[in-house]
Each structure stands twice: as structure tokens, then as C-alpha cells.
Structure 1
């Protein structure tokens, strides 16, 4: 009798365990997964685009996968188990762990670049160097200065954080090749940044250990800003204003990053916030200027900068997310374009007529093909 009762309890408990997730299905049509930052799959349609939905079984499976009760809790439990017990990320296709569980991102040709397996041939390097020189010479002819600002991936500054299963061969990467070629064979003004980061990482965190694996830290951004402004002020009779640490509220905050599945490690690091800004942003610049229509632009006017210098900054999130307001404090007119140079470059210069152009690029998104397109457009324009 006792055996029968225990079997019934076991069966009932098992049935409840199976049914509860179905009872708590998420029926909200606008439901969003905060962990994945996306809308959950909608209700499967029997009729789709006017005909029988042949993928209905797959749609039903996706719907249940997305909306079954306790889904987020199960995902988190699995991710935490994978991280803490097996030392790996649940989404191992993009994120990888270092020797001490450090967060790393793996995308594009980052591994090949780290291993130095994609070095330029002499012909490729000569062609790319020529393209940068073409851009620099074109801007000179149009009365503008050109500066190439090289940002680096985290593993170039902290190779000790990278998975120790990945080995690098030799000391020179393709980015190092380009820096050397530009500085030794041209008069292109290069802001390399790498040595500054390596020298300062002994005292500061310039890229996060357990924080954002994609970008530099606020301290790293500030160091990049200082190097850039010092390069602009070199040999300048009237130097531009350069922000100092006293212009910021610097606090220590936990910037440890949460990943899909709930994996998080504490990462206390410096947070920089400008105490005061004089530059005012015009949010409609791209709509008012056809040459920039369709691009993400940030246009600032600063009547207190003490100059009427027009500075065009072509960049990615390293500047847009961290430094666009900081640079805008130094110039009377600043236009930040979140993009690479490309075939529209000539139109941008003709429209904005800058005095200074800063082009910032990061290793893993090295848009060398777009640099070639910009140089080609310049040659085609006959300038």
C-alpha cells in the first residue's frame, strides 16, 4: 500500500513538473526577452500570406521554445552552470573566456589577427599605404589636416586575458604593419595609441577584465582623447583646449557586464562624467545636408571654444559612445559621423569644408576596403 502511494506521489509530482511550464506560458503578444533583447515569437498562423503555412510545425515549436514557463530561469541556470562549472560561455560562438574567466569577444578575423596569420603582403601594404596618403594629400589640397587614429582590440593590449588555447606567432600584427608603413614611408599623421595603453595598464584599467569586452574603459577612452588632442596641438601656435581630469567627476562603479543567460562578474572601474559642457548638438544635421543623409551624425556648435575650427571626426562606437562630447569642447564646430570613410568621402568634404579630419578605426572592424573606395573616389574626382 505504501509502495502504491509513493508511486502515485511520484507520478503526480512528475506530471506537475511537466504541466507547470505549460500553465505559465507567456501569452503577451508584445512580450520581450530582456536577456536576449528581442521580441518573443508571435502566435503561429495557420494561414500565412494567403495560403496554408507549410512551416506551421516549426512555428509552433519556436513559439513554445520562446514562451514556455520558466524559460528565462532555465536559460540562466544553464548559463551559470556552463560558466562556473565548465569555464565556458553558453553562447560560445561570439564570447570566449580567458584563463581567469575574463570576458572576450571573438568576431570577424580577430583570431587570425591575434595569431598574426593575416599579415599584409608587400603589395597589399603598399596599396593601403598609398590609399591613406591619397586621402591625406587630398585634404591638404583642400586646406584641411588629416589624422589617422588607431584603436586596438582588447587582446592586443591584454593578451593575458585572451584564451590561452590561442597562440600568437611573432610580434607583428597587420595593424602594426600599417602603423609602421604610414609613419616611416609617408607624412600621414598617425595617432597609434598602443604604447600609451600598454604603459598605462600597469596603473589603470584601460580595457575591462569582466566588463565590456568590445570597447575600452572610460580611462582608456580618456587616454585616447589626450593622445589625440596632444597630436593636434603639436607645433600649433594657439593650442586647442584640452580637458583634464579635473573637468570630470570620476567615480568607481561596478561595470561588470551581464551576458545572455545572466552570467555576471563584478568589475569595479573608473567612470568619467563631464562636469560641464559648452557644446550644443544639432540633432537634425544629416537631414539638413544631403551629403550626410542616411548617416548617423552628431553636429556640435561651441561658441565658447575660442576658435572657429571645423573638425570632422569619422569614427565608430569607440568615439561615439565615449568621446564625441569631449572633442566637441575643443572646437567651434564639430561633426561626428558614425561610419567609415567610403566613396561618399569627397561629398562630405565638399559639403562640410573641414579644417581638421580625424579618422578613427578599430582593429576588428578594419574597413580597409572602404579606405580604398574613398581613395578611388578622390582619384576619380581629379583632385
Structure 2
């Protein structure tokens, strides 16, 4: 009888000890990283790989008292000790074992091509690729009305207005998308809408056909980045030049040189920039060597810039675009006496009065639906939008 009690007591003690050990281990896993982190953080990767600003430590004041718990939770989640190390380890496991990304906005394609398949209101690249977001007749009418209104008002100010749509990378290099991502139609949203808008005489131009002509011969987009490379942007710049000036330079007239290895923003989102760095950076040389363009103004993050050149074309060009407009800076300034670049984060209507452009290029990439659809609001706004985060 006593032996049974003793055995039961030992079992209970053993069970209690196991529970204490588990609780202690769990508590240590929460506390120890926080205690150790300050001593080792200078040796760890602290870079922000997300396409947003990380949350700041909350303001400790009576006025902000109600918001402190929520703001602190957001801060801690963004700055949790060893975050990049753990994220990288999980990403490597996902890629090696499952050949997929743990970051929902990044799709791992064939031969390790990475695609930005964000899926949210106003920017749904996945739906663009799968062709599940076609415009309704009413939506196309609203688009036509908005573009018509902007175009007519620009004409009244003596400005030639044109809109260009650059395709998502997966629209040009669909062969590298995984077979598991199905396509449900023969035309994308813009494949169907742009020809209809152009047929109404609206200044809307699709860049995809020109890019597809060269996509098998040259790599036009970065393998690990969302954007076109210099070859792709050169083709885009020459389509703009042909549209506005009636002249352009073929690829055969310039030199394409490899300028070293390249990674990209999608690799950084996966914390895998070092591992995914075997892409090639291409540089266009000998483009209009007789023309010299110089930078006369540029802000810190290159989201606004002004160039002047000795081009025989004495007109002024304003280019307003998303991040796809950045690489156009290598080429467009040689085509005008003055060229102004503004991203959607820096553009306001005041630039029209300040620089009095002769030509206005409005460039968006396919996935940026809101910027394409809200062209009338964007062009005439008097202040820049607040940044998220």
C-alpha cells in the first residue's frame, strides 16, 4: 500500500517537475533573448526589409495614454529581438523544403525567379496575373471620363498629356511563374481596357507589346526585384520618345554591358539578399553621346529631380510616376532641354506652374490600379499624400 502511495507521489513529483521545467523553458525563451540581445545586436543584421517604416516607440504621455498599449505592441512586433535571424531561418526552410515563400506578397517561381504578387485593394498583382479583376463597363466609362477631363484641361494649359502603363514582371515573364498559380482568362484587365481607351482617341499607351518583342532575346526585368532593369526601361523610354517626338533609338544602336551581380527588393523582403544575388546588372552605354545631361536639382531619396541638357529640343518634359519611372532618368533627360521627374509621393499641381512643361508623362505599373484609376485626383491635387507608417 505504502509502495503504491510512494509510486504515485513520485509520479506526481515527476509530472510537477516536468511542468516546472516546461514553464521555466518557456519563460526563458521569452526573457533570455531580450536580455542577451543588447550585447549582441551590433553584430546582427538590423536592416529593415519591409516596404514600410517600422513602428516607433509610443509617446509616453497622458494625452497618448489610451494608445500606448496598441502602439507598444506594434513597436515590439517590428523590433522583436533576433527578428531578422528568425525570419531568415524560416524563409530558408520554406524555400528548401517547400519551394515557396513565407512572405505572402512574394511568389517563388521557376529557376528561383521572384514575383511581387501583392493582393490587396488598389494593388492586386495576383488578380492581374490570374485575370480575375476585369473592369466592368461602368468602370471603363469612368476611366474614360477621368482621362478625357485631364487631357482637355491639359490642352487648355498648352500641355500635351500622355499616360503609359508598364506591365508587371509576371505579365512579361509568365513562363517563370509557378504552374500552381492558375490563369483564368485570355486577357488581363489592362489588355482589355487600354485598346478600348485608345480607340476613343485618349492618350493611353500600353508598354507590354514593345517589351514582349525583346523579352526572349534580352532579360528586361530583374530576377529578384519587382522592376525592369536598364534594358527594359530603355525600351520603355524609346516608346515614350517615339510617341512624343516621333523618333527613337533602337537597341542595336546602343551598347549593353554587364556591370556585375545584382539582387533586388524581393530578395530583401525575404531577408535573402546575400543568397539571391546572382542576377546580372545591365547598363546601357553610348546612348545619344552627342547630348550631355546634368542634374541641377535632386532631393535626398531621388523621388524628385531636375535635369538640363544641351538637347536641340528646347522643350520641358515632366515625368510623374511610381518607382518604374526611376530608370528613365538614364535616358529621357537627353531628349529635352529640361526634364523634371516626380514620384507620386512628391508630385503636386504646383509643379505645372513652376516648370511649365510642354509634355507631361504619367507612368504607372500595371499593379498600381489606384494611381491609374485616380488620375484626375492625382494630377490636380494640391498636397502630397501622407506616407503609411
Scaled by the length of structure 2, the TM-score of the pair is 0.71
* Matched position secondary structure for 1:364: coil
Q: Does 1:370 align with 2:374?
A: yes
Distance 2:208 2:330 in 1: 23
Distance change >3 Å, CA 249–CA 85, structure 1 → 2: same
The answer to whether the 8 A contact 1:152-1:194 is kept is yes
Correspondent of 2:336 among 331, 339, 348: 331
Aligned residue in 1 for 2:114: 103
Q: Does 1:223 align with 2:238?
A: no
The answer to whether the 8 A contact 2:56-2:75 is kept is yes
Correspondent of 1:259 among 268, 271, 279: 268
Cα distance per residue 1:266-320 (max 9 Å; x no partner): 54334215577732323279xxxxxxxxx94311122x11231011111111112
Correspondent of 2:182 among 163, 167, 175: 167
Q: 1:363 offset after TM fit, Å? A: 1.2
Distance 2:79 2:254 in 1: 47
The answer to whether the 8 A contact 2:84-2:271 is kept is no
The answer to whether the 8 A contact 1:297-1:338 is kept is yes
Q: Does 1:318 align with 2:324?
A: yes
Distance 2:151 2:292 in 1: 30
The answer to whether the 8 A contact 1:32-1:39 is kept is no
Q: Does 1:145 align with 2:156?
A: no
Distance 2:343 2:74 in 1: 39
Cα distance per residue 1:78-121 (max 9 Å; x no partner): 221111111121222x2122244431112232222222222122
Q: 1:58 offset after TM fit, Å? A: 10
Aligned residue in 1 for 2:148: 133
Q: Does 1:359 align with 2:347?
A: no
Paired positions, count: 340
Distance change >3 Å, CA 59–CA 126, structure 1 → 2: closer
Distance 1:142 1:62 in 2: 48
Distance change >3 Å, CA 80–CA 122, structure 1 → 2: same
Distance change >3 Å, CA 370–CA 74, structure 1 → 2: closer
Aligned residue in 2 for 1:90: 102
Q: 1:334 offset after TM fit, Å? A: 1.0
Aligned residue in 2 for 1:199: 213
Scaled by the length of structure 1, the TM-score of the pair is 0.72
Distance change >3 Å, CA 48–CA 32, structure 1 → 2: farther
The answer to whether the 8 A contact 1:315-1:337 is kept is yes
Matches within 5 A, 1:241-260: 250-257=257-264, 258-260=267-269
* Matched position secondary structure for 1:77: helix
Correspondent of 2:47 among 27, 31, 34: 34
Distance change >3 Å, CA 76–CA 35, structure 1 → 2: farther
Distance 1:256 1:284 in 2: 25
Structure 1: give runs of 5+ residues left out of the alignment: 1-10, 286-294, 378-383
Aligned residue in 2 for 1:306: 312
Q: 1:137 offset after TM fit, Å? A: 2.9
The answer to whether the 8 A contact 1:144-1:357 is kept is yes
The answer to whether the 8 A contact 1:132-1:375 is kept is no
The answer to whether the 8 A contact 1:26-1:67 is kept is no
The answer to whether the 8 A contact 1:256-1:268 is kept is yes
Distance change >3 Å, CA 261–CA 40, structure 1 → 2: farther
Distance 2:255 2:304 in 1: 25
Structure 2: give runs of 5+ residues left out of the alignment: 1-20, 382-389
